[in-house]
Copies of this chain bind each other. A is one copy, B any other.
Amino acid sequence: MADKRGSRVADRTDAIMRTTLELGQEVGYAKLSIEAVAARAGAGKHTIYRRWPSKGALFLDSLLSLNEPELNYPDTGDIEADLREQIHAAVDLLSKPPLGPLYQAVLVEAQQDPQVAEALNERFIGPQEEKTIARLRKARDQGQLSSDFDLSLAMALLSGPFYFQVLIARQPLTREYVDRVIEAVFAGIGPKAPPTAGG
């Protein structure tokens, strides 16, 4: 954590994580082996096992070590536009090479390894959710969202459809598709009240 950089320990940790990402991109997570990471990193297997309990943990750490350009919410005052921008950025980052396949692999691994799932939530999903909710709360207070809107549903409603599209339907996510979904989520799928004089 607070390793003095330059220390032996931190050096090895970095080298191993870098190699993990490299190999991960080359052969995919499924075919990634600790054996191979150790060999290419010029590290002993034990040095890896000393730090990470499983391939999944190593891989997650490696990914998070990238400190990917923080997905920070813009705030232009227009919540729908801001959401669009934010989600476009997230989709670009997380569903496309080079990071996309790796991120999806982490999601997969999280299904099988509770430790990975927990770490993923604590270190990535959770923080993203906090930011999202903060931005949405402000928008709701400004009357840009329905006052009924339960913020705890935000991630499910706004991210769920995209995860579905990628993970389940396995369709590419175009910007146009993203925009249509956002629009539908804002408008709701229920019948529209006829336009009023004041609308």
Convert A7-32 into 0s and 1s, putting 1 for each residue whose CB lies closer than 8 angstroms to a CB of B.
00000000000000000000011100
Tell whether A115 is near chain B: CB-to-CB under 8 Å.
Answer: no
Contact status B156-A165, CB under 8 Å: yes
**Taking each of A80, A169, A195, which has the highest tally of chain B beta carbons within 10 Å of its own beta carbon?**
A169
Is A104's CB within 8 Å of the partner chain B?
yes
Question: Which residue from B104, B159, B165, B197 sits with its C-beta under 8 Å from A111?
Answer: B104
Q: Which of B28, B150, B156 contacts A161 (CB 8 A)?
A: B156
A160: interface (CB < 8 Å):
yes
Is B180 in contact with A190, judged by CB distance below 8 angstroms? no
A window 131-164: CB within 8 A of B: 143-150, 153, 155-157, 159-164
Q: Which residues 160-199 of A sit at the B interface, judged by CB distance below 8 A?
A: 160-165, 167-170, 180-181, 184-199
Query: Bound state CA distance, A117 and B168, in angstroms?
Result: 8
Copies of this chain per assembly: 4
Q: How large is the interface on A (under 10, 10 to 19, 20 to 34, 35 or more residues)?
A: 35 or more
Q: How far is the CA of A187 from the CA of B187 in the complex (A)?
A: 7
Q: Is the CB of B185 within 8 A of A185?
A: yes
Do A146 and B190 have beta carbons less than 8 Å apart?
Answer: yes
In the assembled complex, A125 has its CB within 8 A of some CB on chain B: yes
A164 in complex: contacting residue of B150, B156, B191, CB < 8 Å = B156
Q: Check A65 for interface membership: any CB of B closer than 8 A.
A: no
21 pairs from A and B in contact (CB 8 Å cutoff): A104-B111, A111-B167, A121-B170, A145-B189, A145-B190, A146-B189, A148-B187, A150-B180, A153-B161, A153-B184, A155-B169, A156-B161, A156-B162, A156-B164, A159-B164, A159-B168, A160-B160, A163-B167, A184-B188, A193-B196, A194-B199
In the complex, besides A108-B112, A149-B189, A160-B162, 6 extra interface pairs with C-beta distance below 8 angstroms are A107-B167, A125-B169, A146-B191, A148-B187, A194-B198, A196-B197
Going nearest first, the 3 A-B pairs with the smallest beta carbon separation are: A188-B188, A160-B164, A160-B160
